[in-house]
């Protein structure tokens, strides 16, 4: 005997109840899928953002803080690498190139970052429009900064969120207290105008929202000179070792793998620290992985409890149909047929919920990725992988096992008691 027509009839008899059970299962599945997919999107997005930062050299301190400052442009106070040490790093023969990174200022909601024109083109693999800056009064903007070429921007001290001193404004502002600037603005925090001369290509990093200026602009604005003799108006290397100001960080691209490890060992000293951003990310991912496994286990446990609660509701629904099953048995239907019918009835709802939960979970993760990317500037792409499919399959397997409970209960039901 084919149990499928009976299953279809049971679903049609209580369509609202069936749809409600399917929706609850779908939401339970979607929650676990969204958490798992989002964790992977976060790891992949943050790793891509650090791809162009081979080696970071900075003053001794927290590598995590330095990583967040230099790569993700988050407001973190860092110490300045002394000028003589910075000059040695910038001129090291084992480096294919080394670029200074300076922070502490902002334009509206965009951080202002000082570096070199070569690093700008390296970071975005060329420019989308315009050209690189060639003077201290010029700037290149990220792909998401909504200003046209030729726009004049007034730069302010400090981070846009008014975090104490910005990324490293505390260090720079210590110099400001002893210097007299020639810039006059209505805003006491404003210290100079720059003209937008170029736009970077999209990088999928927080630098897409940055205003990038010559590092000399940041130095000069904070009363630290320009690293060049006073009569020189140029920007970029080489800098004068005796006039070299301090720097929050330096990005180094080694000539080879061997050179990379040599540079890291060379600049791990009492005056400086050097590290691969990928190594720090691995440590962060290990912590995230442990938390993600705990969250996945808790989510799976919660999902199983949801399925168990749904089955309790199904038991109540099946109790209302005791007479129907008893009539089937009285008409000659085998007990195994009734058992299979009830099990399939529950399994179809679980399968429908899992099938609906997969795209719902992906949509939830995509929405979360968009919101996080909007806040951090790190591009994230939510995808469904084997881990999410395995999670849904495990929940289904647990549900199929739990579905045996109502099936066994109906199977063991007395025909005489059911007909009463």
Residue 316 pLDDT exceeds 80: no
pLDDT in tens, 51-89: 888 899 988 888 888 888 888 888 777 788 888 898 888
The answer on 197 and 289 residing in a single domain is: no
Q: Which of these three, 208, 240, 275, is where a domain ends?
A: 275
> CA-CA distance, 218 to 112, in Å (whole number)?
9
The answer on 180 and 34 residing in a single domain is: no
> CA-CA distance, 172 to 191, in Å (whole number)?
13
211, 141 Cβ separation under 8 angstroms: yes
Q: What is the mean pLDDT of residues 387-408?
A: 80
Using alpha carbons only, give the angle 224, 226, 228 rounded to the nearest 5 degrees. Answer: 130
The answer on 25 and 125 residing in a single domain is: no
The answer on 247 and 132 residing in a single domain is: yes
Retrieve residue 281's tokens: 């990310």
Using alpha carbons only, give the angle 251, 253, 254 rounded to the nearest 5 degrees. Answer: 130
pLDDT the model gives residue 170: 46
The answer on 306 and 266 residing in a single domain is: no
pLDDT the model gives residue 173: 47
pLDDT band at 355 (very low <50, low <70, confident <90, very high): confident
The answer on 266 and 176 residing in a single domain is: yes
Q: Which of these three, 275, 296, 315, is where a domain ends?
A: 275
The answer on 241 and 103 residing in a single domain is: yes
Find tokens 């791990």 and name the residue. 268
The answer on 252 and 158 residing in a single domain is: yes
26, 353 Cβ separation under 8 angstroms: yes
Q: Is the peptide bond before 238 cis (omega within 30 degrees of 0)?
A: yes
Q: What is the mean pLDDT of residues 223-237?
A: 78
pLDDT the model gives residue 311: 75
48, 376 Cβ separation under 8 angstroms: no
pLDDT band at 10 (very low <50, low <70, confident <90, very high): confident
pLDDT the model gives residue 168: 44
- 3-state class (DSSP) for residue 357: helix
Q: What is the mean pLDDT of residues 43-49?
A: 80
In terms of DSSP bridges, do strands 110-115 and 211-214 run parallel, antiparallel, or are they unpaired? parallel
**Global confidence as pTM:** 0.71
Tell whether the torsion through CA atoms of 58, 60, 63 and 65 is positive or negative: negative
The fraction of the chain above a pLDDT of 90, given in percent, is 2
Q: Which of these three, 275, 304, 336, is where a domain ends?
A: 275
Residue 242 pLDDT exceeds 80: yes
The answer on 105 and 242 residing in a single domain is: yes
The answer on 181 and 153 residing in a single domain is: yes
Q: Which of 102-111, 152-161, 293-302, 306-315 has the highest mean pLDDT?
A: 102-111
pLDDT the model gives residue 417: 55
**Largest Cα–Cα distance of the chain, in whole Å?**
107
> CA-CA distance, 61 to 5, in Å (whole number)?
70
Average pLDDT over the chain reads 78
Q: Which of 98-107, 229-238, 387-396, 402-411 has the highest mean pLDDT?
A: 98-107
The answer on 109 and 90 residing in a single domain is: yes
H-run or E-run covering 254:
strand 249-254
Question: Dihedrals φ, ψ of 349, to 5°?
Answer: -65, -40
pLDDT the model gives residue 199: 92
Total domains in the chain come to: 2
pLDDT band at 339 (very low <50, low <70, confident <90, very high): confident
> CA-CA distance, 315 to 243, in Å (whole number)?
81
H-run or E-run covering 111:
strand 110-115
The answer on 232 and 332 residing in a single domain is: no
Residue 161 pLDDT exceeds 80: no
Domain span holding position 94 = 55-275
pLDDT in tens, 267-315: 888 888 889 888 888 877 776 666 666 766 777 777 777 777 777 777 7
Residue 164 pLDDT exceeds 50: no
pLDDT the model gives residue 160: 52
């Amino acid at each position: 005997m084919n149990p499928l027509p009976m299953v279809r009839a049971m679903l049609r008899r209580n369509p609202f109840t069936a749809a409600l059970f399917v929706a609850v299962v779908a939401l339970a599945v979607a929650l676990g899928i969204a958490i798992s997919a989002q964790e992977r999107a976060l790891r992949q997005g943050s790793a891509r953002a650090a791809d162009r930062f081979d080696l970071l050299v900075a003053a001794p301190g927290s590598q995590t803080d330095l990583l967040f400052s230099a790569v993700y442009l988050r407001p973190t106070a860092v110490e300045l690498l002394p000028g003589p040490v910075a000059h040695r790093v910038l001129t090291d023969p084992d480096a294919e190139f080394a670029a200074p990174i300076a922070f502490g200022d902002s334009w509206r909601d965009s951080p202002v970052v000082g570096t070199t024109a070569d690093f700008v083109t390296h970071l975005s693999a060329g420019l989308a429009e315009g050209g690189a800056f060639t003077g201290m009064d010029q700037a290149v903007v990220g792909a998401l900064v909504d200003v046209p070429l030729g726009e004049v921007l007034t730069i302010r001290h400090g981070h846009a969120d008014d975090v104490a001193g910005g990324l490293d404004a505390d260090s720079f502002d210590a110099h400001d207290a002893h210097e007299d600037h020639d810039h006059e603005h209505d805003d006491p925090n404003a210290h100079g105008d720059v003209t937008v001369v170029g736009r970077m290509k999209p990088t999928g990093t927080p630098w897409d929202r940055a205003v990038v200026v010559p590092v000399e602009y940041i130095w000069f604005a904070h009363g630290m000179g320009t690293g060049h003799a006073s009569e020189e108006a140029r920007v970029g290397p080489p800098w004068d070792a005796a006039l070299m100001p301090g720097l929050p960080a330096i990005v180094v691209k080694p000539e080879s793998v061997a050179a990379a490890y040599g540079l890291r060992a060379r600049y791990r000293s009492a005056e400086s620290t050097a590290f691969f951003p990928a190594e720090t990310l691995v440590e962060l991912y290990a912590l995230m992985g442990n938390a993600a496994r705990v969250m996945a286990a808790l989510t799976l446990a919660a999902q199983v409890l949801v399925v168990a609660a749904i089955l309790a509701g199904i038991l109540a629904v099946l109790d209302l149909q005791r007479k129907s099953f008893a009539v089937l048995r009285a008409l000659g239907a085998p007990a195994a047929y009734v058992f299979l019918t009830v099990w399939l009835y529950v399994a179809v709802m679980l399968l429908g919920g899992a099938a609906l939960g997969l795209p719902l979970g992906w949509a939830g993760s995509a929405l979360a990725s968009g919101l996080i990317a909007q806040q951090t500037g790190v591009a994230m792409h939510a995808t469904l992988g084997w881990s999410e499919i395995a999670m849904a399959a495990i929940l289904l397997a647990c549900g199929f096992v739990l579905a045996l409970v109502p099936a066994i209960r109906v199977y063991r039901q007395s025909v005489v008691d059911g007909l009463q």
